[in-house]
Amino acid sequence: MAQAHDNPAGFADLQPGWSPPDYAGEGIANLMQSLALGLGDRAPHSALPPLNGLPPESVARHSRVLLIVVDGLGDAMLADPGLCPNLRAHRVRALSSVFPTTTAAGITTYLTGQPPARHGLTGWFTYIEALDQVMAVLPGLPRGEGPGYGDLAVTPRELLGLNPLFARLSVPTASVSPARIANSPFNRSISGDARGYVYKDLAGFFRQTRRAVLDAPGFVYAYWPELDHLGHEHGADSAELRAHLAELDAGFARLLEGLAGSDTLVLLTADHGMIDAPRRVDLSQHPQIAACLSHPLCGEPRVAFAYVRPEARAAFAERVREELGHCLSLVDSRVLLEDGWFGPGPAHPALAGRVGDFALFMHDGWMIFDRVPGEKRPPRMVAVHGGLSEAERRVPLVMARV
């Protein structure tokens, strides 16, 4: 077990079984490079290689490309041979998520075609220097009190410095989104001129996805978030989640039948997996550690970014070692940047300011949270994500050509 210290630590100092994200040809960022290049990206990420085994020219051969992203679908969830026969039949491999293994970083990689180093979103809670506040960046809500996206004169795309993939492709594009986020400031800002399709339930999701694909050639991005919600509420291997997987599997089979003969490359994958974490660290119970912080914790319950007052760095590291060394590994955030944990650059200009001074890597089975005045008590989540365990990091690649 790695001890907390004030010196840089690398992957070797972390937990057995943890692995770094892959950006060299085996990750979701590489998948997006294959799609972007195959679909005529007018400003591709030159340092990011395509996915091994999916050259851009094989993407370009199809008149239609459908990318389905199931939030929270870890590759381990497809291990049961009796649960998802259709998804398993078309599963070709596992992919590495990005770091952190979270919706904010992973979904933004899908929406921009860029790794987190380039798009700059490093967790559900991210410190936005221009506002001097911590934001839940996808819904655009502050931690505690402060302005949300709806109160600002700039769009989320401008505020966050994002470069959406939809705007760069040379083919028609479409986005399939749940009704509750379809018209959110973030979604509107990043979807741009893509055709929008909205749904309210799983049947509507597959119906609208089929419609989006058949309405016009080009690229369709379809997002399904409910699996992630069920994991948070009930657990990564809960009866509720498994029942939902079976429904997804049946819907996927019907979708393939409905798209037969359409010359569509169908890809289904995820932003991250999940792991149950029954043990929790409430930072309010560690006041000497909390007193060292200049901002609330950012990132995720499994990997939190700590912003530490300059004069308190040594004290923070020592206190973390003494009080929390049994349940976390402390990494100097400079290492995350220098060793490419967020992928190849050139880096987003705000990246260094969005990873804090230290990263708190919670050991398997643990999560961490803090409290902010004016903020509701955090929900009691069962399964979470953000870390480097295989359950969080490995997602499936399901592929069919119809």
Average pLDDT over residues 13-39: 91
pLDDT tens digits, 95-136: 999 999 999 999 999 999 999 999 999 999 999 998 999 999
End-to-end CA distance of the chain: 48
- Please, are residues 168 and 43 in contact by the beta-carbon 8 Å criterion? yes
Of the chain, the percentage scoring pLDDT greater than 70 comes to 96
Tokens 């180093």, located at residue = 117
Look at residue 263 in the predicted model and tell me its pLDDT: 98
Look at residue 331 in the predicted model and tell me its pLDDT: 93
Q: How many C-beta atoms surround the C-beta of residue 82 within 10 A? A: 7
Alpha carbons 183 and 197: distance in angstroms, whole number: 11
Q: What are phi and psi of 325, to 5 degrees?
A: -60, -20
pLDDT tens digits, 188-206: 999 989 999 999 999 999 9
Look at residue 2 in the predicted model and tell me its pLDDT: 31
Q: Residue 1 pLDDT more than 60?
A: no
How is residue 62 written in tokens? Answer: 């199809």
Q: Residue 7 pLDDT more than 50?
A: no
What is the residue-averaged pLDDT of the chain? Answer: 93
CA angle 60, 65, 69 (to 5 degrees): 135
pLDDT tens digits, 228-242: 999 999 999 999 999
pLDDT tens digits, 264-274: 999 999 999 99
- Please, are residues 202 and 181 in contact by the beta-carbon 8 Å criterion? no
Enumerate the H helices of 39-115 as residue ranges. 56-60, 85-90, 103-112
Average pLDDT over residues 325-330: 94
- Confidence tier at 13 by pLDDT (50, 70, 90): low
Alpha carbons 87 and 370: distance in angstroms, whole number: 38
Q: Which domains does the chain show, CATH number per domain?
A: 11-19+276-384 (3.30.1360.180), 28-274+390-401 (3.40.720.10)
How is residue 360 written in tokens? Answer: 């708190």
Q: How many C-beta atoms surround the C-beta of residue 395 within 10 A? A: 30
Look at residue 11 in the predicted model and tell me its pLDDT: 53
Alpha carbons 174 and 354: distance in angstroms, whole number: 30
pTM of the model: 0.94
Most confident of 9-23, 311-325, 369-383: 311-325
**CA torsion through residues 121, 198, 194, 398, sign:** positive
CA angle 137, 143, 149 (to 5 degrees): 45
Tokens 């497809």, located at residue = 78
- Confidence tier at 399 by pLDDT (50, 70, 90): very high
User: What are the C-alpha distances in Å from 231 to residues 48, 237, 360?
Assistant: 31, 8, 22
CA nearest 218: which of 178, 174, 282? 174
Look at residue 146 in the predicted model and tell me its pLDDT: 80
- Please, are residues 99 and 21 in contact by the beta-carbon 8 Å criterion? yes
Q: Residue 46 pLDDT more than 60?
A: yes
Average pLDDT over residues 298-323: 96
Q: Residue 94 CA to chain centroid, in angstroms?
A: 16
Q: Is 287 exposed, middle or buried (0-12, 13-18, 19+ CB in 10 A)?
A: exposed
- Confidence tier at 143 by pLDDT (50, 70, 90): confident
Q: In this structure, what DSSP letter does residue 331 have?
A: E
Q: Which residue has the higher pLDDT, 260 or 82?
A: 260
Q: Residue 9 pLDDT more than 80?
A: no
